[in-house]
Structure 1
């Protein structure tokens, strides 16, 4: 084995990371987590158990070719863990679902995986640093698969993002931040047909959000743009803004406004890059000191 002695070599360090994760995850084990089958079928079972039932969607999500997907499904069917059938309204689509035996196996994997994760965190004297590093890695490796979905602003995934956003504002603004003192939009104003609320999901975990607040003033407002620290610099904020503009056009909105605070230098620089124009103050919110408009 070639010894890796250059502690600054990014390639060697990345390959070491790959080997560590492969070994820890049991990617080469013939009995993943001791349940009698390798990682491949276990991941398919996990994906179905987490709510993905369309076979084409599962294959795309896991990055599998059709031949391997068919073999993995057949093996799980032979074990009596899943069933597959044509979709009621489209015979070309196949749907997979867990049997009672499969649901029990899914639960067993969940308990074992949770215990494994707890053991990994317990080894590290600084688990918060380890978690922050894992968040960055997971986001970077999955950034192309990050989904942007429209949900209600009171959905738990939305409120999780908003809570993190408000906490960060309280830390970054010289005045602190109390959401009840801001011009906080009503939830109904960020729902169709007036507006929208978008969340970015990385393997199901919310890592960013942005809201579109409808008004009766001839424009709509962009509100609550936030991305998790682990996702910054990867283009996610721009993707959220691009998708929000598309949604605005669908709703027949052609003029957008937003406000910000000069402490949020990265956001203000992005707005300027995206073609937003600085304008005079248009609201009485006590926190913003920068105001922008964009004509779609």
Structure 2
């Protein structure tokens, strides 16, 4: 007899509540509940606009105000007008707040490591956590511009290359693929976009400028934990929008028939199959779209 899906979800919720100490009045033994500690984490070492904190944590105004006031009363934060925008208020950690922030970071990291250490299959545990975090935070995944040589971009690209190597019958070696100059994916010629889920990279795509009358979409990748959430389409839509802003009217891309989900996305999104337009040894499908 299969277990009731709702019961399984509620069991998971109870386990998370217990593991995270959500009901503790002294979260991690620091003398305040989880809510206040979470707000400190959201403020971070650099400070943050209160409107951004509210959106990031999805808190109502009244609750956030009470939590901020409690942290102010403890001397852990200061709240003032945003220097860049007088209509907004900005929260920053005081010196004591920075010390508490670092204490929370050390304790939280230690608890996380202890959980991994006592599990017989830590990579499976992490994969399950990534899947759940992506599903719960799907509406908060943001797409931002990043340099192709930045750490989030490199993580995505290396993950992309590793997946191609596993899925292509002939393997994949970036050195043997068509040359891709990072400058072609930097403004003003192009752009590199990274999808961030609570700060962690979950996908990428590059818009490569050329001198051939068209630009190219390159390196579209979404983490397995975030697939099925519409993220690939969001990345494509965002890259097409950047292309229009840059005055590009024609886009091209290539892919391999070993990636049928990619080809299906392009076909559903108005891309037309065309003849080969490059000598890259890996792709066997070629598409174009007017934007």
Shared fold (TM-score, shorter chain, > 0.5): yes
Which of 155, 162, 165 is the matching residue for 1:160? 155
Structure 2 residue 178 is the aligned partner of structure 1 residue 183 = yes
C-alpha contact 2:45 2:92 (8 A) present in aligned 1:
no
Kindly provide the CA deviation profile for residues 2-33 of structure 1, in whole angstroms up to 9, marking residues without a partner as x: xxxx6421111011101110111111110001
Kindly provide the CA deviation profile for residues 53-111 of structure 1, in whole angstroms up to 9, marking residues without a partner as x: 11100011001111111111111111111111102232211111111111111111011
User: 3-state DSSP class of the match of 2:48?
Assistant: coil
Give unpaired runs (5+ residues) of structure 1: 1-5
- How many residues align? The count is 291
C-alpha contact 1:211 1:223 (8 A) present in aligned 2:
yes
When structure 1 is superposed on structure 2, of 33-42 and 115-124 the one drifting more is 115-124
User: 3-state DSSP class of the match of 2:32?
Assistant: coil
Kindly provide the CA deviation profile for residues 166-223 of structure 1, in whole angstroms up to 9, marking residues without a partner as x: 1111111111111111113211100111111100000000000000000010100000
User: 3-state DSSP class of the match of 2:137?
Assistant: helix
RMSD value, Cα: 1.1
Which of 142, 150, 173 is the matching residue for 1:147? 142
Structure 2 residue 128 is the aligned partner of structure 1 residue 133 = yes
The aligned residue for residue 274 of structure 2 is 279
C-alpha distance in 2 between matches for 1:90 and 1:229: 39
Question: Residues 12 and 35 from structure 1, CA distance in 2 versus in 1: closer, same or farther, beyond 3 angstroms?
Answer: same
C-alpha distance in 2 between matches for 1:48 and 1:90: 17
**Displacement of 1:122:** 2.0
The aligned residue for residue 98 of structure 1 is 93
Structure 2 residue 23 is the aligned partner of structure 1 residue 28 = yes
The aligned residue for residue 285 of structure 2 is 290
The aligned residue for residue 8 of structure 1 is 3
C-alpha contact 1:227 1:236 (8 A) present in aligned 2:
yes
C-alpha distance in 1 between matches for 2:208 and 2:85: 37
Structure 2 residue 161 is the aligned partner of structure 1 residue 192 = no
Give unpaired runs (5+ residues) of structure 2: none
C-alpha contact 1:52 1:58 (8 A) present in aligned 2:
no
C-alpha distance in 2 between matches for 1:171 and 1:72: 48
Question: Residues 7 and 50 from structure 1, CA distance in 2 versus in 1: closer, same or farther, beyond 3 angstroms?
Answer: farther
C-alpha distance in 1 between matches for 2:94 and 2:161: 43
User: 3-state DSSP class of the match of 2:68?
Assistant: helix
C-alpha distance in 2 between matches for 1:267 and 1:159: 21
TM-score of the two chains, using structure 1 as the length reference: 0.96
Question: Residues 202 and 50 from structure 1, CA distance in 2 versus in 1: closer, same or farther, beyond 3 angstroms?
Answer: farther
Q: Which runs of 4 or more aligned residues in structure 1 lie more than 4 Å from their structure 2 counterparts after TM superposition?
A: none
Structure 2 residue 228 is the aligned partner of structure 1 residue 204 = no
User: 3-state DSSP class of the match of 1:161?
Assistant: helix
User: 3-state DSSP class of the match of 1:175?
Assistant: coil
